[in-house]
A and B are shown apart, each in its own frame.
Chain A
Amino acid sequence: MKIEQAIVLRNEQIAHGIWRMSLVAPDVASAYVGPGQFISLLIDDSWDHLVRRPMSIAKINEDEVDIIYKIFGDVTDHFTKKCPGDSMNILGPLGNVFTDYNSEFAEPILIGGGVGLAPILNLYDACEKAVMIIGARSADEHFLNHKPDNSVYLTTDDGTAGIEGNVLTALKNMNLSENTILFACGPEPMLIAIQNYADEYNIRAQLSVESYMGCGIGLCQGCVINRQNGQVEQHSYHEKYSLVCLEGPVYESHEVRFD
């Protein structure tokens, strides 16, 4: 992992409330391992907002690193003010990666919702073949096209684009096989629904989870998630909780518990 002053190349709104930023960051890009990894950004040099913000990598193209972010507060609002040529301090690449998506016989289904699209798009680019489902509340939050012939499915809560319903509605109409692997990133209720679905049909799923991080590198011990097998002895360390920044953000569905 590296800390780098990256230069903003592009920063534009690509759908309602959703932005894409391309950064020139040769050090971080050269250390990149694969889809699932993230970077952690500082807003600026001031200490008003001192905690870095983790953002999944949406694409790596030579020395460029792309992120996709949704405006949901002060900090992301600050991000939208960045112009080409501005610098941003980034730390990365961090975290682990999705696995087995190109293994023999694998039939990957990629599912992204809300802020969770970035790693899913990145993974889609890396997949030799895949089905992808992207969910949003309405058409104006989508920037891709619904193309069932290419195995790209959009869903909207209000039916204004693609399939009416959520990503689960679309997923339930997919043919599953013993080789199906679900890869998902999105809001926690969506991940819980996918976890339950994977359990019910006994299929493998890899979930990229979100967590509030103080540092992103294992120092602060802040970003924990419950492990599924939370039954531990009276005295233990990292058996009940897992550090998302080091062991995640990608987990096999059966490893983690959301509550």
Chain B
Amino acid sequence: MTDLSVKISNVTFKNPIFVASGTFGYGTENPKLVDISKLGAMVTKSITLNPREGNPPPRIVETPSGMINSIGLANIGVEKYISELLPIYEVMDTPIIMNIAGSSMTEYIDVMKKVEAVSSNIVGYEINISCPNVKEGGMEFGVDCEMTEKLTGELRNLTDRLLIMKLSPNVTDITAIAKSSENGGADAVSAINTVVGMSIDHKTKKSNIYTTYGGLSGPAIKPVGLACVHKVFNAVKIPIIGIGGMVSSHDVIEYILAGSCAVQIGTANYRDPGIAEKILNDLNDYLDEQNLNSITSLIGAVKTYV
């Protein structure tokens, strides 16, 4: 039997297949369609200090091999996350990574402080500094090295749990932000968040998304994600969790070859909430066929020409 476990800092995950924030709700929505316990980890939907309604509709549109969303960080807020969800996670077999979003340094800090103040079994935090869909979605951090390093450092001081900074592709140089995350004390980075996109209905001449621009996801962004992961892999020493358009075990292998030690399945969950488990099974078969005992030897092992 292949050992699929991966280690990030001091946490061992039973496999590298995670589900991405915002694509799996809070993990309590559809227990019958999915066996969540099979997942390497579940990253929960972005939580802010206060509850948020999110953006007006339309929020979603399909695009070639992808979709654009502009949900606007609709979420229940940290108080309810603590009172209603943490007790549920306590009895789940799946490691939970809490995704936090904020509009200011204080907001990220306040949310983390509240969660750190209570007892829970969440294994880490993924910090959303890359939401393209709200003005206050943390992008001011995600595009600025100094701010990223300062925020990472502040949060590092608050927790011994895993600290993962989620990077945006909508920047001039993603490696600079990755280095700032590393310098600030992050245990890992996850990449990428959605790519800014737009969709127009030529018949009505209207934008298909209320906020005009939204976040493109799905197979359409896989090449962008691979390039970002590979660049970051060559720039930092901390592990990378790859995200962006994966729908099969082959996609996962490619992300690992580009430099990911684990991956998050995102948009594909919308189409089939059970897909992460299928990908995991296929990944197992692939490694068996290749006579590989673990994925470690594949991380960043892509053969490039130059």
Contact surface of A with B, Cβ cutoff 8 Å: 1, 3, 42, 47-52, 211-215, 217-226, 232, 234-241
Contact = CB atoms under 8 A, between A and B. Distances in A.
A239 B58 CA distance: 17
A1 B268 CA distance: 18
The 9 closest A-B pairs by CB, nearest first: A222-B60, A235-B50, A215-B270, A237-B51, A51-B62, A214-B60, A240-B53, A222-B59, A218-B29
Nearest to B57: A224
A1 B267 contact: no
A72 B218 CA distance: 24
B138 interface: no
B153 interface: no
A217 B75 contact: no
Q: Is the interface of B mostly helix, strand, loop or mixed?
A: loop
Contact of A212 (B24, B58, B74): B58
Contacts of B65: 47-48, 50
Interface string B252-283: 00000000000000011111111000000000
B218 A236 contact: no
Contacts of B197: none
Nearest to B222: A47
A237 B267 contact: no
B52 A214 contact: no
A50 B63 CA distance: 9
A3 B54 contact: no
Given A237-B75, A241-B53, A1 B67 contact: no
B30 interface: yes
A3 B62 contact: no
Best-surrounded residue of B62, B272, B273 (most CB of chain A within 10 A) = B62
Nearest to A214: B60
Contact of B25 (A52, A219, A232): A219
